[in-house]
Amino acid sequence: MINLHNHLLAVTKTNMENTLDLAHGSFASIERLANLNLNTARALLEHGIEHTRCVMGAKSAQEVLELQTKATQPVLGQTLAYLQNAQQIVTMSQQEHKARVQQQVTDMGQQVAATVEHAVAAVTRLGKPIK
């Protein structure tokens, strides 16, 4: 019985380690997304400040209109780059989680099978039929 208890304890420990592994993977993905958000916000803020300075220095309404037209192109490019990077981070994160979970399910199946084998062996050693 002690052997079965130790085996169940090992299974529980493995499950806890697997859960922590998934949590660490999630936090790494969140950190990558947060860095992307901060870098994008910083770039957009710097672009906005520079654009405001240019508009403040404009001499005519026509010049302001031209500056406004020119300003949209970099913002659209940054937005597209942000979306592509975010999609890449999320896709990579999903793939990592999928691989981890698949491995954990495989390990769990093996552990359950081993636990059942230990239990059957323990009952068999006692010589009592299973009811």
Q: Which pLDDT does position 117 carry in this prediction?
A: 84
Distances, alpha carbon 79 to alpha carbons 59, 74, 118, in Å: 30, 9, 58
Q: Quick count: other Cβ atoms within 10 Å of Cβ 61? A: 8
Residue 40 structure tokens: 């994008």
Q: Which residues contact 47 (CB under 8 A, 6 or more apart)?
A: 71, 74, 75, 78
- Compute the half-sphere exposure of residue 8: CA atoms within 13 Å on the CB side of its CA: 7
Mean pLDDT by 10 residues, the chain (131 residues): 74 88 94 97 94 90 88 90 97 94 88 82 70 51
Q: What is the DSSP string of 92-104?
A: HHHHHHHHHHHHH
pLDDT at 1: 52
Q: What is the pLDDT of residue 50?
A: 93
pLDDT at 37: 97
> What residue has token string 């698949």?
102
What 8-state DSSP symbol labels residue 130? Answer: P
pLDDT at 2: 59
Q: Quick one: pLDDT at residue 91?
A: 96
User: What does the pLDDT read at residue 24?
Assistant: 94
Which string of b and e fits 70-100 if b means at least 16 CB within 10 Å? Answer: ebeeeeeeeeeebeebeeebeeebeeeeeee
Domain spans, the chain: 2-41+72-125
Give the largest Cα separation in the chain, rounded. 100
